Amino acid sequence: MSKLSQEFIAFSVNAGVLRFGEFVTKAGRNSPYFFNAGLFNEGGTLAKLADFYAQALLDSGIEFDMLFGPAYKGITLAAATAIALANKGRNVPFAYNRKEAKDHGEGGTIVGAKLQGRVVIIDDVISAGTSVRESVDMIRAAGATPCAVLIALDRMERSGKDGALSEHSAVQEVTRAYGMPVVSIGNLNDLLHYISQAGAGAELARYKEAVSAYRDRYGV
């Protein structure tokens, strides 16, 4: 568990964005934890989140020229990460898409800088990979190259439904389909390691068995 991922998991728990209990995921699974990046809805927490994104991207060593944020959550994440990168001495452009094309003014579906060079797609998590696929298509249509996906949390679980589970996670399937890396600030193993530590407190430690069982059942 890297220092960055440890700090990120702690930050997410303290901000109430990473929660433990009983939740139903988009895939219909009963999960003992839930991560909702939409709850980073204050200036201070968003600034800190963006700093984590920027540092994770820089630490990855991936060469990139700009950022792209798929609507809707990705818009805020890309803009905030661009600011955080600039504060770290790396000034790069960013762009995002509209859900519906604009027929006046500048028109089109892409807003911001021109898509060109090596583009990093920024989102919160990868569930079915639909957002990534649409982003890749838009970036390639503009003549640019999608070079990586940057997300907050990798749930590290097999895609599909019970009885027809894939051998791969949604993150792995994106890597296989598009031949580009997926960088995450933290992942399920980091989460489990964090709640297993004495410093996390008894309130979180009591979820260790449930999270571990969930990983055994759905993890890759």
List the domain boundaries for the chain: 3-218
Do 150 and 183 meet the contact criterion of CB atoms below 8 Å apart? Answer: yes
Give me the tens of pLDDT residue by residue for the chain, a chain 220 residues long. Answer: 699 999 999 999 999 999 999 999 877 889 999 999 989 999 999 999 999 999 999 999 999 999 999 998 999 999 999 999 999 999 999 999 987 765 544 557 899 999 999 999 999 988 767 889 999 999 999 999 999 999 999 999 988 766 678 899 989 999 999 999 999 999 999 999 999 885 666 788 889 999 999 999 999 8
Burial 41-62 (b: 16+ CB within 10 A, else e): eeeebbebbbbbbbbbbeeeee
For residue 33, cis peptide bond before it (omega within 30 degrees of 0)? no
CATH architecture for the domain at 3-218: 3-Layer(aba) Sandwich (3.40)
So which residues are the catalytic ones?
A: 102, 104
Q: What share of the chain is helix, strand, coil (3-state, %, to 5)?
A: 45, 30, 25
Do 45 and 15 meet the contact criterion of CB atoms below 8 Å apart? Answer: yes
Q: Is the pTM of this model over 0.85?
A: yes
Q: Tokens representing 190?
A: 């980091």
